[in-house]
Amino acid sequence: MSETPNPAAIEMRGVSIGAMRDVSFIVVEDANWTVASGEFWVIAGQQHSGKSDFLMLTAGLMTPVEGSCRIFGRDTRTFGEVELAERLRVGLVFEGGQLFNHLTLRENVALPLQYHRNLSPDTAAAEVQPLLELMELAPLADITPANVSGNWLQRAALARALILKPELLLLDNPLGRLDARHQQWWLRFLDRLWRGHDWLGSRPLTLVATTDDLRPWQNAQLKFGLLHDKKFSPRGSWDNMEASNDPVVKELQAVPIGETM
Amino acid sequence: MRGNLAKAFELTNTQVFRRAALPKSYTDLWGRKLFLLLLTIQGLGAFALITLGVMLKKNRLARNVMGPRIRQEITRSGVALLPMFLFIAAALGFLVIGQTVSALARVGATDYLGSTMVIVVVRELGPLLTAMLVLARVGTAHVIELGTARALGEVEALEALGIDPVHYLIVPRVWGTMVGIFSLTVYSIIGALASGYLWAFLQDVPLTPGEYFKQLAEALSWLDFALLALKTLGFGFFIAIVTCYHGLAQPLRLEEVSRVAVRAVSQSVIACILLDALFILLYLVT
């Protein structure tokens, strides 16, 4: 397998993506994209534009119909048994959390640690406690997901994705179901992760988030991409997005219709 | 991981047939049914082999997680069903064995009691009835739980965390169902034989407990024990594989879960009866 000395965090070449439920239905065609380590990308697209499928493919949960997708230089087709260590460099936060309903929040967060390091429940619980406290989840730790609001479920899903200290974090519409207070907490926390959080040993994290609402993501330092009409196009900085006359971009910025004309 | 499930699904994409337009002729209808049957057999076979492979390859992996999960499944498929099975064993003894004993006594054929009991209870009724009851109580729960987990995206969440869904979700259920059916069959047989004698005793059948158990012991051979173990473990394996396959291997929507559960139960019953027929052949040959 070919490896470059400092491979890009994500590298897509000519990638076509089928829908998760029906791979024969193509949602993205011929995507080319490179994400360098330490970058923070926001992928915008309307609902049902294929954002989740795009992210699932990036996470190695799907294989491209055409083309190749490499994460840290490794083809995602080989993710799994052969390259489990590579898979664990990538964290994924699903829209809505997708926590395991038979486990408490603490057990959900501890599961990857317990499974991959064969830790006893007590040892794993002690290891996740600092992260739960950091994310203000400690008071809810012994409750099952069915009894927790969506805001906290999403935060628990973030904790579960961070427990193995990934180098690349993928977030599927992380702000979509949150109230304003939680949105602010997330934006601050993601910014700290990106710049290097103590939890990750001050190592900057590479982040990719999808969204159908660009308003909370106004930040000159972020990079943006657009998914529309089966095409993925990297758009660069927020300034480029703001200057764009593309009606889809305007719609994602929730600009009143009269102003897009 | 993802590959494991994808392999089983790709081999058996029966949705193509299930969602196709109505057949135009009987030939078309039967052709489709035949294809569906072949695809299902292929998918079940692939899933069974994949599961066996994972059971062997990862038997030492994540013991602190898998140990409690396997114990939990054994409790659910075995220990938790024990009160129900004690009742069933008593009822089976009263309804079937007691009547058989008294009927044999009336015609003076109590010498055949041991062999009749072994054939009826040990070889056939005990294992098959146990398997059907465990299928009803636990197998359906497998399909619903796994189908719901699949529909809610929990399976993808496991894969994203580098956890093999076959290892985490299927292997404990396979062990639980196998051990549960084996243990419950043993308890059912003992309970049914004991309660059957009790019923016969109450009917004043001239048979001492010593004679009754002597006949049973003489009618039983080592092959009965070996095949009983193999058969019950086989029932458990097939029930777990069929129910888990239908719950997990195919992507489902929530509204499809109940329909798939019915299909899984029908196929499990057929699989168990076919396995039972295979064991009857073995008995006849040996």
Tokens describing residue A180: 């304003």
Dump pLDDT digits (tens) for B148-180. 888 888 999 999 999 999 999 999 999 999 999
User: Which residue ranges form the domains of chain A, and what is each CATH number?
Assistant: 1-89+168-173+204-261 (3.40.50.300), 90-165 (no CATH)
What angle do the packed helices B171-202 and B126-134 form, to 10 degrees? 130
Helices (H) and strands (E) in chain A, counts: 9, 10
Return all residues near A115 (Cβ < 8 A) that are at least 6 apart: B62, B65, B161, B162, B163, B168
| Inter-chain contacts counted by CB atoms under 8 A, chains A and B | 70
DSSP state of A88: T
Q: Chain B within 8 Å of A139 (Cβ-Cβ)?
A: no
DSSP state of A26: E
Q: Minimal Cα distance from B152: which residue of A? A: A98
Q: For Cα atoms A114, A115, A121, give the angle at the middle one, nearest 5 degrees.
A: 25
Q: Minimal Cα distance from B169: which residue of A? A: A100
Return all residues near A80 (Cβ < 8 A) that are at least 6 apart: A60, A87, B1, B2, B3
Say if the Cβ atoms of B63 and A118 lie within 8 Å.
yes
In whole angstroms, what is the distance from residue B97 CA to residue B77 CA? Answer: 26
Chain A residues near residue B160 by CB distance under 8 angstroms: 59, 61, 90-92, 94, 161
Q: Minimal Cα distance from B148: which residue of A? A: A101
Q: What share of chain B is helix, strand, coil (3-state, %, to 5)?
A: 85, 0, 15
Say if the Cβ atoms of A80 and B161 lie within 8 Å.
no
Consecutive H or E run containing A223: strand A223-228
Say if the Cβ atoms of B163 and A99 lie within 8 Å.
no
- Give me the phi and psi of B10, to 5 degrees please: -60, -35
Say if the Cβ atoms of A94 and B2 lie within 8 Å.
no
In whole angstroms, what is the distance from residue A113 CA to residue A107 CA? Answer: 10
Chain A residues near residue B64 by CB distance under 8 angstroms: 114, 118-121
Say if the Cβ atoms of B1 and A99 lie within 8 Å.
no
Chain B residues near residue A94 by CB distance under 8 angstroms: 153, 156-157, 160
Dump pLDDT digits (tens) for B235-268. 999 999 999 999 887 666 777 888 888 999 999 9
Chain B residues near residue A55 by CB distance under 8 angstroms: none
Going through A40-152 in order, the beta strands assigned E by DSSP cover 40-45, 66-71, 74-75, 90-93
Question: Contact, B190 vs B242, CB < 8 A?
Answer: no
- Residue A176 CB: number of other CB atoms within 10 A? 16
Question: Contact, A57 vs A225, CB < 8 A?
Answer: no
Q: Is the dihedral of CA B134, B44, B49, A118 positive or negative?
A: negative
In whole angstroms, what is the distance from residue A128 CA to residue A110 CA? Answer: 6
Chain A residues near residue B13 by CB distance under 8 angstroms: none
Distance from CA of B2 to the nearest CA of A (A): 7
Question: Contact, B195 vs B93, CB < 8 A?
Answer: yes
> Which one of B149, B153, B162 has the shortest CB-CB distance to A116?
B162
In whole angstroms, what is the distance from residue B141 CA to residue B185 CA? Answer: 20
Q: Is the dihedral of CA A116, A120, A122, A126 positive or negative?
A: negative
CA distances from residue B70 to A113, A185, A237, B16, B153 in whole angstroms, order as listed? 19, 39, 51, 35, 23
Dump pLDDT digits (tens) for B89-146. 888 888 877 778 778 878 888 778 777 878 888 888 899 999 999 999 999 999 999 9
Q: Chain B within 8 Å of A122 (Cβ-Cβ)?
A: no
CB proximity under 8 Å: A 194-223 to B: none
Give the pLDDT band (50/70/90) at residue B183.
very high
Question: Contact, A20 vs A56, CB < 8 A?
Answer: yes
Q: Specify the higher pLDDT residue, B196 or A122.
A: A122
Q: Chain B within 8 Å of A80 (Cβ-Cβ)?
A: yes
> Which one of B64, B154, B251 has the shortest CB-CB distance to A120?
B64
- Residue B200: what pLDDT? 77
Say if the Cβ atoms of A81 and B156 lie within 8 Å.
no
CB proximity under 8 Å: B 26-65 to A: 61-65
- Residue A43: what pLDDT? 95
3-class secondary structure, A13: strand
Q: Could you state, in order of their start, the residue ranges of all structural domains in chain B?
A: 66-285
Render each residue's pLDDT in chain A as its tens digit; 261 residues.
444 556 899 999 999 999 887 788 899 999 999 999 999 999 999 988 999 999 999 998 888 999 999 999 888 887 766 678 888 899 999 998 999 999 999 999 999 999 999 999 999 999 999 999 999 999 999 999 999 999 999 999 999 999 999 999 999 999 998 999 999 999 999 999 999 999 999 999 999 999 999 989 988 889 999 999 999 999 989 888 888 888 888 888 876 555 444
DSSP state of B94: I
Return all residues near B19 (Cβ < 8 A) that are at least 6 apart: none
Q: For Cα atoms A206, A241, A174, give the angle at the middle one, nearest 5 degrees.
A: 45
